Chain A
Amino acid sequence: MTEAVLETDGLTKRFGELTAVDDISLSVEDGEFRSVIGPNGAGKTTTFNLITGALKPSEGAVLFKGEDITTMPPHDRVRRGLGRSFQITNVFGGLTVRENVRVAAQSVYDDDIGPVSAMFRDKNSFDGITKQTTEVLEQIGLQHRGEEKAETLAYGDQRRLEIGLVLATDPDIVMLDEPTAGMSSEETQSTMNLISEVLADQSLMLIEHDIDLVMRVSDKITVLTRGQELATGTPEEVANNEDVRDAYLGGARE
């Protein structure tokens, strides 16, 4: 359990004069719940985008299960087991709930489906995909709503489906970008419950700025400030770190 699933090595991103992410080297272990916190402009989202492939780094490397994925397009990263969820709910609104999950599950089998089958075989005739779809629907508690259109679901259920889409791609690590942004404390609680319940087998990397929440759920916390890594450690270590208190917690209280 001490093997690193995700590593960044000297990750740097410059936008013109601005260095948004400056020489960040992280290592997330298999099964770990890692949170990344920091004030606005600390480089959290940029780091997230560099890891998921939405942005290309200026320098440095991203390693996933030991493989260099720095220049790999996002979809190849997902195929290798690097899943991501979206801050704003992003599901396939016009498709049914079941089809949403099924398409996500299908991507896992995409390379095994031959070109002729991909073009002409009925999409519901693949046993592995169907089985996985049903399992995921049960895990997220939407098994009875499979035939409804995703866009007609209530907000909370859409968030469940969102997590379900990530889960269906069979990820080793899931990147969560502020999954509770703009939620009431009640909604935040139920979303976090869902995450810990459904994604218990995966490594998680959470980008957040709700410190209290992060302190409760994380195995380890990385604190960023002005694009740089300030500290990494267990919640207690981070809470007791003088630099963190000065730079982040102190600043937040003012």
Chain B
Amino acid sequence: MVAQFVEQLINGLTLGMVYVLLAAGLSVIFGVMDVINFSHGELFALGAYFALSIIAPLGSGIGFWVALLAAPLIVGVIGAGIERVTIRPLYGRNPLYHILLTFGLVLIINDLIKLVWGTEQQQLVVPDYLTQSISVFSIQLSLYNYFIIGFAGVLAVGTWLLLNRTKYGMIIRAGSQDRQMVRNVGIDIDRYYTLVFGFGAALAAVAGIVLGGYQSVSTGMGNSVIIPAFVVVVLGGLGSFRGAVFGGLLVGVVQTMMRVYNGTTLFELGGFALTIPNLQGLTVFLLMIGVLLVKPQGLFGTRGDESEGGEGEILVGSSGGLLTDSTRTKLGILFIAAMIVLPILLLFTGSRYYVLVMNNILIWAIFALSLDVVMGYAGLVPLGHTMFYGVGAYTSALVMLHFTSSFVVAIAAAILICAVIAWIVGSLSIRVSGVYFAMITLAFAELFYNAVFRLGFTGGSDGLLGFEPTMGIAGLGVPLSEISFAFMGYEIEQQIIFYYIGLLLAVLAFLFARRVMNAPFGSVIQSIRESEERAEFVGYNTVKYKRRAFVISGGIAGLAGGLLAASPTTFVISPDQTLAWIHSGEVIVIALLGGMGTLFGPMLGAGAFFGAEEILSQYTEQWRMIIGIIFVLFVIYVPRGLVSVPSLVVQRFDRFGEGGKPGIGIDESEVQSDD
């Protein structure tokens, strides 16, 4: 019993040390440059894959050691290159842009790995003498456990010495306290950024190699560690090395213990049993939310909330539009008219399949619209927005399964439940701001994600199936799948009916959001985005307003989720399809791609994103990589999104015109009227 406990404790510490290596890099990178690096998990995976390639020709005996030295160096150089090329142009912007950028890098690196090494799970071969089982005080464990703890421990101590005992370390620590002051004393701190980023990447690669040898190497390995690594960093305190060590060990041990001992009865006394609840996967997020609420700066964090968050703003696309409001309205009406005609054209041309694509786009357009309300208008960046999409889908599916198949009731329930959850999550999250808000919403989303695996009524990892909406209410109505009639010789069936329902709801959601944003409420929300302190001091309870914006956003996202469940192509609602954190990232990509702060921009962004996916995936498996590259370019060069492209083009031509080449034949008015 005790021996088993100690065994598990050591297993936990082994995993914990891997987290320490990951989190140390993440944390120092944040401390020095305010960059939240989502691609850290992919650099971790990259380390393991490079090790595979090195070990293959050399054999596991010497290969492993060569890999342990060479692979981190390669990844370190790649990391330094990433900093130079992509992150450097973004310094001085709001730190949230780094989150967006590194999310794009995740897509790119992950697809590169698939391209080079394939998608199959592989085994990183460790020398035999490291894997033999040894017994210490009747505790039976692989020597490799002790190797990981020892090796990672040496690296952690080395990093600590580097930070605390060398001149470079001192500059880096000083930089994480007050960057400007370091510059003022004449040190070019920017030069150190590349070094720090490369070093963090190398540490991540080491972690990838040792964990790859412990478990296995797969393309999903980065994705599976990045969220726990964030929990570690946030728990310990962003920018704190001590916090990363403590948090890493804590999360490693807690995760391992919860996996082994969930559902174990601790003692029984007169019919009363104290059982460890089955909270596997939930505990660390509950821990993180708890810590953030009590001590937003983390357990060892010294920096105040948002010490430098004020630098740089969220760039919204609403500024500097070329068109007058009335032209824009006319264009909008024209656009909707085209959308109404579109399915008929698709029928004529025999490309019925594209109706399905359009249905998906409409659902995501509503989802992206909901994000714009909080991100583009209130200036809050949630990294867990998919929780509302997922909860909406589950609610709608559950209503159709257990209560009534009525489409209207299912959708209404999805909106209502999501609004309520948004109120609760919002009340807790809005107390912290900036990066911390992003992180706490991520934790809540992960909480829901893990909860649907645990809960019985959500169907676990299989999800829910066997529901179907009826177009009607209170027992009256026709199942969507049975609707079918002929129109000009073409069959109008459920896909097309759903398309029009989706289009109607998307337009209504847009009009609703636009109305709200032009009302007194919306104007206060926007003033909070511009300066929360000022809004407070002209007399607004900014917390109350932000919470309301969050509720509205949650409700609209619930509508999108509800529609997903009701869509005729949806046969199953599963956790990965609706609640995985990647969707929170995707919807941010879409909103930024389209142009935040415009409402219609993010909706167009959904069309562009899935349209690009549709086209690219016909030509290449690696379409995510291309979308990632496009996204990275957008974050750097077109941060106001697609909607700002026309005015950027005009600026270009203006500059061109001033250069003394009027003969090119395009003047400003012409560009405007054509647009």
The stretch among B243-251, B293-301, B524-532, B586-594 that forms the contact with chain A is B524-532
* Contact A122–B538 (Cβ < 8 Å): no
User: Within 8 Å of chain A (Cβ to Cβ): is B522?
Assistant: yes
Say if the beta carbon of A226 comes within 8 Å of chain B.
no
Within 8 A of B (CB), among A116-133: 117-123, 126
- Verify A74–B516 contact, CB threshold 8 A: no
Q: Is B667 an interface residue (CB 8 A)?
A: no
Compute how far the CA of A100 lies from the CA of B531 in the bound complex, rounded to whole angstroms.
11
Q: Pick the contact of A168 from B536, B538, B540 — CB < 8 Å?
A: B538
Point out which of A102, A110, A119, A169 has the most chain B C-beta atoms below 10 A from its C-beta.
A119
- Enumerate B472-515 residues with CB–CB distance to A below 8 Å: 515
Is B542 part of the contact surface with A, judged by Cβ < 8 Å? yes
- Which residues of chain A come closer than 8 Å to B536, judged between CB atoms? 74-75, 78
Chain A's interface size range is: 35 or more
Contact: B519 with A107, CB < 8 Å?
no
- Interface majority SS (helix, strand, loop, mixed), chain A: helix
Would you call A200 an interface residue if the criterion is a C-beta within 8 Å of the partner chain's C-beta atoms? no
Q: Does B140 contact A (CB under 8 A)?
A: no
The docked-state distance in angstroms from the alpha carbon of A121 to that of B518 is 8
The answer to whether A123 and B518 have CB atoms under 8 Å apart is: yes
Q: Are B526 and A108 in contact (CB under 8 A)?
A: no
What is the bound-complex CA distance between A108 and B25, given in angstroms? 49
Q: Which of B319, B524, B533, B539 has the most CB of A within 10 A?
A: B539
Pick from A75, A94, A102: contact of B540, CB under 8 Å: A75
Q: Does A106 reach chain B (CB closer than 8 Å)?
A: yes
Q: Which of A125-150 contact B (CB under 8 A)?
A: 126, 149
Q: Which of B316, B319, B522, B531 contacts A91 (CB 8 A)?
A: B531
CB <8 Å contact, B521 and A118 = yes
**A75 near B539 (CB under 8 angstroms)?**
yes
- Are B530 and A95 in contact (CB-based, < 8 A)? yes
Q: Name the CB-closest residue of A to B319.
A: A94
Contacts of B521 in A (CB 8 A): 118-119
Is there contact, CB below 8 Å, between B534 and A123? no
Cβ–Cβ contact B519 & A169, under 8 A = no
> Is A93 an interface residue, CB under 8 A from the partner?
yes
Q: Does B516 lie within 8 Å of A94, measured CB to CB?
A: no
- Closest-by-CB residue of A relative to B316 is A94
- The answer to whether B527 and A103 touch across the interface, beta carbons within 8 angstroms, is yes
B533 to chain A, nearest CB (A): 7
Q: Check: A92 CB closer than 8 A to any chain B CB.
A: yes
Known: A90-B534, A93-B530, A95-B527. A121 touches B519 (CB 8 A): yes
Determine whether A248 belongs to the interface, using a CB cutoff of 8 Å to chain B: no
Q: How far is the CA of A72 from the CA of B373 in the complex (A)?
A: 29
Q: How distant is B376 from chain A, measured CB to nearest CB, in Å?
A: 11
The yes or no answer to A181 lying at the interface (CB within 8 A) is: no
B541 contacts partner chain A, Cβ-Cβ < 8 Å: yes
Answer yes or no: A113 CB below 8 A from chain B CBs. yes
Mask: chain A, 73-86; 1 = CB below 8 Å from B; 0 = not: 11110110001101
Chain A neighbourhood of B519, CB < 8 A = 117-123
Q: Is B659 an interface residue, CB under 8 A from the partner?
A: no
User: With a CB–CB cut-off of 8 A, which chain B residues contact A79?
Assistant: 539
Asked if B539 and A126 sit within 8 Å, CB to CB, the answer is: no
Per-residue CB proximity of A35-64 to B under 8 Å, as 1/0? 000000000000000001000000000000
A149 touches B539 (CB 8 A): no
Residue from the list A75, A83, A92, A126 in contact with B541, Cβ < 8 A: A75
Is B520 in contact with chain A by the CB < 8 A criterion? yes
A63 to B: closest C-beta gap in Å: 19
Q: Is the CB of A149 within 8 A of B319?
A: yes
Kindly list chain A residues whose C-beta atoms are within 8 Å of the C-beta of B530: 91-95
> How far does the alpha carbon of A165 sit from the alpha carbon of B316 in the complex, in Å?
23
Is A204 positioned at the interface, with any CB of B under 8 Å from its CB?
A: no
Among all A-B residue pairs, the 5 with the closest Cβ atoms: A107-B539, A92-B530, A78-B539, A104-B538, A103-B527
What are 8 contact pairs spanning A and B, CB under 8 A? A74-B536, A86-B534, A92-B526, A93-B531, A106-B520, A119-B521, A121-B519, A165-B534
Q: Which residues of B contact A (CB under 8 A)?
A: 313, 316, 319, 515-516, 518-524, 526-527, 529-531, 533-542
Q: A74-B536, A78-B539, A100-B527 are in contact. List 11 more A-B contacts (CB 8 A).
A: A83-B537, A92-B531, A92-B534, A94-B313, A94-B526, A103-B535, A117-B520, A119-B521, A121-B520, A122-B518, A123-B522
